[in-house]
Amino acid sequence: MKSQNRRSPRPIARLAALGALALTCFAADAADTGKTVRTPYGDVIEIQAPPSQQRLSTSAQAHPFATARQRAAVKPLQWAPRDDRAAADTAELSDKMVRAAGSAPGGEAPAFANYLARNHFRATWQRLDALDAAKGAAPLSALSDGGEKDGAHYPYTRYPGNYYTSQWKTTPWNKIGKLYFTKPDGSGSYCTANVASGNSVLITAAHCVYTLGAGWNTNFVFVPAERYGEAPYGRFGWSSARVPSGYFPSGGRRWDVAVIKLTGEQVTGLPVTSYVGWLGRTWNRPYSEYATSHGYASNLSTQFTHICNGQTYSSPSEGTNVLVQGCDMTYGASGGGWLLNLSGGHYVNSVVSGPHIGAFGTAWVGPRFADDNIVALCAAIGC
């Protein structure tokens, strides 16, 4: 009896271990699929960041994007192959707005924000000062014309963005930055993202947050106004992210937008808005408007942003709530904001999703912000 009693706990222990394994697998599956959040405007899918990613470490060994050298080695995210099922949503388009247009204004950082950043990140600013002094001042003509054209249907002007000393410390350029992350296969990549809420919420593309057919990206790190690998306003981790439920399982340009809640700067703990402020948001606007699109496009330079100015359009081949604009930027610009200048303020109206059908490198598309994408996302995350 004693020997039987000594052996009897083993099956129980095995069962307990199997049960624990099953619970672990279930928890992992739950984390992979995300949590559905219902809003009056539509459902979104939410994921939470592990505690280790909410406050970044200053150690290079502790995080894949901790240093400028590590970030410089990261490749831009390529545009995902188009899924024809996602393009099947080709309801009749109209320039008449179905719903009333709405907007949320942006906000500036405190007047002393650049002084604060210069003191908090002194070595970074000294390196950038030296770089700017070596380049010299930007000619005015470089800021106003000289871009490339792309034919009668998609005319645009393209020029460098936060390359210039006169721009990178001011609106809107300081509110746009690089978003680094780890893909499900373990490789690092980056997109472009925009601070667009006083609650430190980023807006970017959904394909920068979720890799179709593979799962959620992770290890998000945002570097506002990054140029030449430097982080003049610091680095920010994340606490949660949201993607429209319509983006699953096969994507779709109208749903290709996501929001990410940022945590405080890795050293100072201050929110990103204390350094750069935030852009406004607008939705349910007409399809045809003059927009300024930003992105860290690798076919032009990974060191600073470029800008395409031009009219946006609707296209029956792209479907409802998709905007088209002429631009020759490609990989790395994903998630970059399409900004409207409304009453002197800068408002995000779309983000870079991918190439227009049959026009890779000459025109691209983005989701037209509407109630069922950006408004639902902001309702869920608290923009």
What is the DSSP code string of 176-206? EEEEEEE-TTS-EEEEEEEE-STT-EEEE-G
Q: What is the pLDDT of residue 57?
A: 62
**More confident site: 257 or 101:** 257
Q: Is residue 44 part of a domain?
A: yes
Averaged pLDDT of the chain = 83
**More confident site: 135 or 50:** 50
Q: Is residue 47 part of a domain?
A: yes
Among the residue ranges 39-53, 133-147, 290-304, the one predicted with the least confidence is 133-147
Q: Which two tokens stand for residue 124?
A: 């970074």
Q: Is residue 266 part of a domain?
A: yes
The 8-class DSSP code of residue 372 comes to I
What CA–CA distance (Å, rounded) separates 57 from 64? 10
Q: What is the pLDDT of residue 79?
A: 84
Q: Which helix (H) or strand (E) holds 27?
A: helix 9-33
For residue 330, the domain's CATH number is: 2.40.10.10
Among the residue ranges 2-16, 112-126, 173-187, 360-374, the one predicted with the least confidence is 2-16
- Tell me if 89 sits within 8 A of 252, measured CB to CB: yes
pLDDT (tens digit per residue) in 184-216? 999 999 999 999 999 999 999 999 999 999 999
For the segment 314-332, the average pLDDT, to the nearest whole number, is 93
For the segment 99-105, the average pLDDT, to the nearest whole number, is 83
How many structural domains are present in the chain? 1
Q: What is the pLDDT of residue 154?
A: 67
Amino acid at 270: L
Q: Is residue 316 part of a domain?
A: yes
Q: What is the pLDDT of residue 113?
A: 80
Share of the chain above pLDDT 90, in %: 58
For the segment 115-143, the average pLDDT, to the nearest whole number, is 72
Q: Is residue 79 part of a domain?
A: no
**More confident site: 64 or 220:** 220
Q: What range defines the domain where residue 206 resides? A: 33-53+104-381
pLDDT at 118 over 50: yes
- Tell me if 294 sits within 8 A of 305, measured CB to CB: yes
Q: Which two tokens stand for residue 10?
A: 């083993």
What CA–CA distance (Å, rounded) separates 188 from 76? 9
Q: What is the pLDDT of residue 98?
A: 54
* Residues paired with residue 45 on neighbouring β-strands, in sequence order: 36, 243
Phi-psi label, residue 97: left if phi above 0, alpha if psi -120 to 50, beta otherwise: beta
What CA–CA distance (Å, rounded) separates 178 from 291? 20
Sign of CA dihedral 94, 98, 101, 102: negative
Among the residue ranges 12-21, 40-49, 228-237, the one predicted with the least confidence is 12-21
Position 259 confidence tier, pLDDT thresholds 50, 70, 90: very high
Q: Is residue 18 part of a domain?
A: no
Q: What is the pLDDT of residue 62?
A: 65
For the segment 210-232, the average pLDDT, to the nearest whole number, is 95
Q: What is the pLDDT of residue 139?
A: 40
340: CB partners within 8 A, 6+ apart:
282, 285, 289, 290, 291, 292, 346, 347, 349
pLDDT (tens digit per residue) in 9-20? 443 344 333 333
What CA–CA distance (Å, rounded) separates 25 from 123? 45
Q: What is the pLDDT of residue 136?
A: 63
172: CB partners within 8 A, 6+ apart:
279, 294, 337, 339, 346
Q: Is residue 233 part of a domain?
A: yes
**More confident site: 126 or 175:** 175
Whether the model pTM is above 0.75: yes
* Helices 113-120, 122-135: inter-axial angle, 10-degree rounding: 110
For the segment 275-290, the average pLDDT, to the nearest whole number, is 96
Position 61 confidence tier, pLDDT thresholds 50, 70, 90: low
pLDDT at 137 over 80: no
For the segment 16-43, the average pLDDT, to the nearest whole number, is 57
For the segment 310-329, the average pLDDT, to the nearest whole number, is 93
Q: Residue 59, Cβ neighbours under 10 Å: how many?
A: 9
Phi-psi label, residue 293: left if phi above 0, alpha if psi -120 to 50, beta otherwise: beta
Q: Residue 115, Cβ neighbours under 10 Å: how many?
A: 10
Q: Is residue 94 part of a domain?
A: no
